[in-house]
């Protein structure tokens, strides 16, 4: 789901299904298949607030980690803090928490 911006043309060709809405024509939802870009816009507004309000700067090397954090926050937004913490902790079972990869060959 995107708006009509031309930067999405190439991306749209790579997707199995790509839909867009024409904001410049005051189209925000198409009712034929109920297509809109509000979910993506909502996610990125939360992400942007996190960047400005919490991190101030994000290293390109760790951008994937920041994105995964906000993805988790967004997908668990209906949970309370205890439920979210319990879910996150289940992902650590059997894993060693390190900054460096443990399977990398030492130089």
Question: How far from chain centre, in Å, is Cα 107?
Answer: 34
pTM score: 0.56
Could you tell me if 23 and 59 lie in one domain?
no
Q: What parts of the chain have a pLDDT lower than 50? A: none
d(CA 8, CA 74): 23
Residue ranges of alpha helices (H) inside the chain are 9-14, 38-50, 63-75, 81-90
- Domain span at residue 62 reads 40-101
The 10s digit of each residue's pLDDT in 51-74 is 888 888 888 888 888 888 888 988
Same domain for 48 and 73?
Answer: yes
């Amino acid at each position: 789901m995107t708006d009509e911006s031309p930067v999405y043309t190439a991306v749209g060709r790579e997707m199995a299904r790509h839909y867009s809405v024409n904001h410049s024509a005051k189209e925000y939802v198409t009712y034929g298949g109920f297509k809109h870009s509000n979910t993506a816009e909502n996610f990125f507004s939360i992400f942007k607030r996190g960047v400005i309000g919490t991190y101030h700067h994000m290293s390109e090397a760790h951008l994937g980690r920041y994105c995964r954090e906000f993805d988790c926050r967004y997908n668990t937004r209906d949970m309370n803090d205890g439920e979210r913490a319990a879910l996150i902790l289940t992902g650590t079972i059997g894993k060693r928490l390190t900054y460096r990869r443990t399977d990398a060959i030492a130089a």
